[in-house]
Chain A
Amino acid sequence: MGLIQRIIEQRKIPTIGITLQKEVTMTVKPPRALFLRYPFGHPLGEAFHVRQQRTILVDALTGLETIREPGTILTPGYVWRRHVFD
């Protein structure tokens, strides 16, 4: 996914990617990423868990405004099925 992200950014559209594999992301080097230690198939969390999905999407979108350093990987540290999303 990071490859596609890099190609879009090269066309001068800012991008952020959610990633579940930090080491892969560190190798591919997309411009902005949000890392979650979540299982494959769950980049936005659990089914019908609206607050969780919303928080993760807002985190990613906000990263588009706040990240200044290319290659930054945000790590909010939400623990799978344990973090309480208000």
Chain B
Amino acid sequence: MGKIQDLKNTILVQLFKHLPWLAERWARGHRFVEGQGIPWAPLGKPLRESCIAMVTTAGVHLTSQPPFDMEDPDGDATFRAFPAAADKSDLTITHKYYDHSAADRDINVVLPIDRLRELQEEGFIGRIAPTLYSFMGHIDGPHLQTLMEETAPEVAERLLREGAEAVVLTPA
């Protein structure tokens, strides 16, 4: 992407952050995939006995993993998986479509891993699922199909295999 495009993007990111009404207006003009019906799965047992997983679309990944593709204007439908026990200092964020300066200082702003660990220690939840999953939440065009037919179902399958009994999702 050219420098002018990058500059335009940087300005938009700050405008959307500080002027929520502008973001809402943008969203009204943007075409989102409208849900048909609402899927539903009840929680099978109390939270204090349940295995909780987290999925974020904030572009988090291990520093050792390849970053999300920032060059494609339609985004990147791939995901990154990393251990829930990962050291926070090994995590980073690749995402230029939101201001992640706060999350860079404290990852809990977008992925509350410390808070979830505390709730596990207190017995509020049963346990934490072994793997965290992360997408980059700026997916459009042909990548939407990849997300819906390939990568999101793969993450769902992995979560099921790993014993996740409920999932909290966090955006950017």
Contacts and interface: CB of A to CB of B under 8 A. Distances in A.
B171 A7 contact: no
A6 B155 contact: no
The size class of the interface chain A forms with chain B is 35 or more
A18 B39 CA distance: 17
Given A8-B159, A9-B41, A14-B43, A1 B171 contact: yes
A5 B33 CA distance: 13
Contacts of B44: 14
A54 B162 CA distance: 25
Query: Interface on chain B toward A: helix, strand, loop, or mixed SS?
Result: mixed
Contacts, number: 197
Interface string A1-34: 1111111111111111111110110011111000
A58 B119 contact: yes
Interface of A: 1-21, 23-24, 27-31, 37, 39-48, 50, 53-54, 56-58, 60-62, 64-65, 70-71
